[in-house]
Amino acid sequence: MSEVHQPRWAESTPRGESISILGLDEEDLPAILHIEHRAHLYPWSHRVFCDCIRSGYLLDGAFDGQNLLGFSVVMPILNEWHVLNLCVDPPQQRQGVGRALLRFMIEQARQSKIQSLWLEVRESNTPARALYAAHGFAKVGLRKAYYPAKSGREDALVLCCEL
C-alpha cells in the first residue's frame, strides 16, 4: 500500500472487523494481481490493470490494516459508471468485503450525481448476483457467450442500478 493512500471509507464486516476503502495505484498492482489470479480462472493481465489506471478509471481497495482484501475497477462514462471488476480474495469472500466495496461505490456515485451503475456478471455467479440484487441492481440484458469458461463460453447478465 502506497504512503499516499488516504482512507476514503470505513465499514465493519458482519463479524465486527473494520474494513477501510482506499484508492489504488500502480504500486498496488502486485497485490491486485495476486487476488485476481487467485479468484479467477481467466484473470485480467498486468497490462489491463495498467491501462485502467492510465485511463483514469477508479480503482479502490478494501483493506484490513495493510492487507488488500479485494478491489473494484470502475469506468466513468458521462453520467453513468460501468463496474468492470469487483474482486474479493477467495478466503475473504462472504465476509462483507464485496458488500463494503459495492456500498462505497454506490455512495461515491450518488455524491458525484451519477445516474446509474452498470455491470456484467457471469450467469453462474449466484453469490455475486445476490449481492448486486440486494443493492438495487436489476437485469436489463444478456450478453451471449461473453465470458471464457472451461466448457467454451458463458453468458453474462447485464445489470443496472438506477440511482
Q: What is the CATH number of the domain that holds 96?
A: 3.40.630.30
Contact 116, 110 (CB under 8 A): no
pLDDT given for residue 15 in this prediction: 58
Domain count, the chain: 1
The range of the structural domain enclosing residue 11 comes to 7-162
Per the residue annotation, which of 11, 17, 42, 132 is the catalytic one?
Answer: 132
Clarify whether 120 is annotated catalytic: yes
pLDDT of 3: 43
Q: Is 132 a catalytic residue?
A: yes
d(C-alpha 113, C-alpha 92), whole Å = 31
Catalytic residue, candidates 26, 36, 80, 120:
120
In a structure prediction context, what are the per-residue pLDDT tens digits for the chain, which is 163 residues long?
444 455 555 666 555 568 999 999 999 999 999 999 999 999 999 999 999 999 999 999 999 988 999 999 999 999 999 999 999 999 999 999 999 999 999 999 999 999 999 999 999 999 999 999 999 999 999 999 999 999 899 999 999 999 9
Rounded to whole angstroms, the Cα distance separating 28 from 26 reads: 5
Domain-located, residue 67: yes
C-alpha cell at 122: 457471469
Specify if 26 maps to a domain: yes
Confidence (pTM): 0.90
How far is Cα 113 from Cα 38, in angstroms, rounded to an integer?
Answer: 34
Are the beta carbons of 7 and 21 closer than 8 angstroms?
yes
Residue 34, domain member (yes or no): yes
- Quote the CA–CA distance of 72 and 102 in Å, as a whole number: 8
Predicted local confidence at residue 18, as pLDDT = 84
